[in-house]
């Protein structure tokens, strides 16, 4: 169906590179990634990218959204994430020139387009997932879920602890009162000498301190809200553990745990540059403000079927939401589960490491029609599968013993062994091969959008390599 558009765009022909006197096609390898994208991207449903332009028909014609989508997708595929570096490559790199031709967008156009269409990239993720399924790369036999902490665009030097906030708050209040007293004295002196005047201009020192005090009070409120949420979660965890002991007819050993405090620890910190992020351990063994990037990967060819970012360092509560998102994405892409001999939908195996384990997670996955294989504790690499755990069981609920017994069977060991060879290479390809090790945008919503852009380019690379392999290029 041909969609009639009211808005006029700058003309863009994806095949223009082939007709140039000095064509990139003559110099780049046959079957290069850029030619694959120039062929595929315009055929996808890009209507969400056009929607915002169609509302306003006035003004100069903008760049065709398909051009900018193709440019950003190619850039993320080859590890160029900065809008300034993308704009520079459009002047010097043959593959980038094949996309933009002679009409090259500047870095601000590229940056604004990326930030303004992050929701549309989430829909493009579904389009690419459908494309991967049509290529036979999604089989729905087994899922593996994992997460990796990535630093955000937030400075550790623009942060403050809760204890220091209290001291700074008192200091600023005292300084503000002192400045107000000085202002009153100055007004009285000027009134006595010169008569009345407006006097409604705030001194710069007072204005600066009032703004700083307001920001500190907002940051304190965020930490206090986080502390209340953490205390409620801890109370719920203690109640579940107590219920587990009661189900076994046993009494909790040791002293009863102290009630969780709703007051933040004095060392609790928050960032002023990106308040939504939290300090997390990073792969370099250090700590930085970042997000926990989650993926669900199909076992056939390593295609990502769900992607999200959370601010929780622990993966304990991520198994069920990620499985729900994966199933919703598959449904949106029109991908149905395989049927067994009786015509019933086969269960999809879901594999997670020990960081995801809880009785609620196992029950939630089973309620979604998934077969969970989830480690209950960390094990040494190459340790014997049937060896007893050196650490006593942290959760006395029967679910832990049941899952442990399941993973000690021959089938359980074979299934769980697939996990590290399936999902961990995905993060290696994204972080190591393409160099995506830090988010460019600020705010959890924008970080989620950028992560989906990264993951859809991962899937497009899978489709391109599969097509190149099958065509012999």
Contact (CB, 8 A) for 313 and 280 = yes
- Do 209 and 240 lie in a common domain? yes
The pLDDT of residue 164 is 60
% of the chain exceeding 70 in pLDDT:
83
Instruction: Give the pLDDT band of residue 379 (cuts 50, 70, 90).
Output: low
- Do 198 and 292 lie in a common domain? no
Contact (CB, 8 A) for 289 and 152 = yes
Chain segment 148-165, per-residue pLDDT in tens: 998 887 666 666 666 666
User: By C-alpha distance, which of 321, 318, 323, 315 is closest to 140?
Assistant: 323
Number of structural domains the chain divides into: 3
Structural domain includes residue 122: no
Axis-axis angle for helices 107-116, 444-471 (nearest 10): 100
Structural domain includes residue 7: no
Domain that holds residue 320: 139-154+278-455
Is the per-residue pLDDT at 391 higher than 50?
no
Q: Which of 217, 241, 271 is the last residue of a domain?
A: 271
- Do 190 and 238 lie in a common domain? yes
Average pLDDT over residues 250-262: 77
Q: What are the two backbone dihedrals, phi and then psi, of residue 456, each rounded to the nearest 5 degrees?
A: -70, -30
The pLDDT of residue 278 is 75
Chain segment 224-236, per-residue pLDDT in tens: 777 777 778 778 8
Is the per-residue pLDDT at 3 higher than 70?
no
- Do 290 and 428 lie in a common domain? yes
The pLDDT of residue 165 is 65
Average pLDDT over residues 302-319: 92
Instruction: Give the pLDDT band of residue 75 (cuts 50, 70, 90).
Output: very high
d(CA 142, CA 147): 17
Instruction: Give the pLDDT band of residue 381 (cuts 50, 70, 90).
Output: low
- Do 109 and 163 lie in a common domain? no
Chain segment 173-214, per-residue pLDDT in tens: 776 677 677 767 766 666 655 455 454 555 666 676 777 777
Average pLDDT, the chain: 82
Instruction: Give the pLDDT band of residue 472 (cuts 50, 70, 90).
Output: low
- Do 322 and 446 lie in a common domain? yes
- Do 283 and 364 lie in a common domain? yes
Average pLDDT over residues 21-50: 88
- Do 213 and 313 lie in a common domain? no
- Do 94 and 171 lie in a common domain? no
d(CA 94, CA 75): 13
Q: Is the dihedral of CA 225, 228, 230, 236 positive or negative?
A: negative
Instruction: Give the pLDDT band of residue 284 (cuts 50, 70, 90).
Output: low
Chain segment 410-467, per-residue pLDDT in tens: 999 999 999 989 999 999 999 999 999 989 888 889 999 999 999 999 999 999 999 8
- Do 302 and 326 lie in a common domain? yes
Structural domain includes residue 33: yes
Instruction: Give the pLDDT band of residue 396 (cuts 50, 70, 90).
Output: very low
Chain segment 86-145, per-residue pLDDT in tens: 999 999 899 999 999 888 999 999 999 999 999 999 999 999 999 999 999 998 889 999
- Do 69 and 170 lie in a common domain? no
% of the chain exceeding 90 in pLDDT:
43
Print the SS3 string covering the chain: CCCCCCCCCCCCCCCHHHHCCCCHHHHCCCCCHHHHHHHHHHHCCCHHHHHHHHHCCCCCCCCCHHHHHHHHHHHHHCCCCCHHHHHHHHHHCHHHHHHHCCCCCCHHHHHHHHHHCHHHHHHHHHHHHHHHHHCCCCCCCEEEEEEEEEECCCCHHHEEEHHHHHHHHHHHHHHHHHHHHHHHHHHHHHHHHHCCCCCCCCCHHHHHHHHHHHHHHHHHHHHHHHHHHHHHHHHHHHHHHHHHHHHCCCCCCCCCCCCCCCCCCCCCEEECCCCCCEEEECCCCCEEEEEEEEEEEECCCCCEEEEEEECCCCCCCCHHHHHHHHHHHHHHCCCCCCECCCCCECCEEEEECHHHCCHHHHHHHHHCCEEEEECCCCCCCCCCCCCCCCCCCCCCCHHHHHHHHHHCCHHHHHHHHCCCCCCHHHHHHHHHHCCCCCCCCCCHHHHHHHHHHHHHHHHHHHHHHHHHHHHCC
Structural domain includes residue 464: no
The pLDDT of residue 410 is 93
Structural domain includes residue 471: no
Q: Which of 271, 306, 335 is the last residue of a domain?
A: 271
The pLDDT of residue 295 is 96
- Do 243 and 283 lie in a common domain? no
The pLDDT of residue 190 is 61
């Amino acid at each position: 169906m041909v969609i009639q558009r009211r808005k006029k765009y700058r003309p863009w022909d994806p095949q223009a590179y082939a007709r140039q006197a000095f064509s990139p096609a003559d110099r780049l390898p046959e079957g290069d990634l850029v030619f694959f994208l120039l062929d595929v991207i315009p055929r996808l449903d890009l209507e969400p990218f056009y929607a915002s332009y169609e509302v306003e028909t006035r003004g100069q014609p903008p760049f065709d959204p398909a051009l900018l989508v193709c440019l950003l997708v190619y850039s993320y595929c080859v590890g160029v994430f900065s809008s300034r570096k993308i704009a520079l490559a459009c002047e010097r790199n043959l593959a980038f020139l094949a996309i933009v031709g002679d009409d090259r967008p500047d870095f601000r156009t590229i940056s604004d387009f990326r930030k303004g269409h992050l929701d549309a990239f989430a829909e493009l993720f579904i389009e690419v997932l459908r494309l991967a399924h049509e290529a036979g790369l999604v089989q729905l036999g087994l899922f593996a879920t994992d997460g990796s902490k990535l630093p955000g665009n937030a400075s550790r030097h623009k942060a403050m602890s809760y204890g220091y906030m209290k001291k700074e708050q008192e200091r600023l209040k005292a300084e503000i009162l002192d400045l107000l007293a000085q202002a009153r004295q100055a007004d009285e002196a000027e009134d006595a000498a010169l008569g009345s005047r407006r006097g409604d201009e705030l001194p710069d020192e007072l204005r600066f301190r009032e703004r700083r005090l307001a920001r500190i009070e907002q940051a304190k409120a965020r930490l206090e809200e986080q502390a209340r949420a953490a205390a409620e979660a801890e109370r719920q965890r203690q109640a579940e553990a107590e219920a587990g002991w009661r189900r076994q007819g046993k009494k909790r050993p040791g002293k009863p745990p102290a009630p969780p405090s709703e007051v933040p620890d004095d060392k609790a910190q928050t960032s002023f540059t990106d308040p939504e992020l939290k300090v997390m351990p990073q792969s370099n063994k250090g700590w930085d403000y970042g997000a926990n990037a989650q993926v669900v990967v199909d076992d056939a060819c390593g295609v990502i079927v769900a992607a999200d970012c959370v601010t929780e360092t622990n993966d304990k509560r991520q198994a069920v939401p990620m499985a729900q998102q994966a199933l919703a994405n598959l449904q949106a892409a029109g991908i149905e589960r395989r049927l067994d001999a009786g015509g019933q939908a086969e269960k999809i195996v879901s594999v997670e490491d020990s960081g995801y384990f809880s009785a609620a997670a196992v029950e939630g996955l089973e309620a979604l029609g998934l077969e969970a294989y989830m480690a209950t504790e960390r094990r040494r690499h190459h340790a014997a599968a049937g060896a007893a755990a050196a650490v006593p069981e942290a959760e006395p609920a029967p679910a832990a013993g049941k899952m442990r017994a399941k993973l000690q069977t021959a089938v359980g060991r074979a299934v769980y062994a697939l996990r590290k060879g399936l999902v961990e290479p995905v993060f290696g390809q994204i972080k190591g091969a393409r160099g995506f090790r830090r988010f460019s945008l600020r705010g959890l919503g924008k970080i989620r959008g950028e992560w989906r852009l990264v993951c859809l380019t991962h899937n497009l690379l899978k489709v391109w390599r599969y097509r190149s392999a099958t065509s012999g290029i």
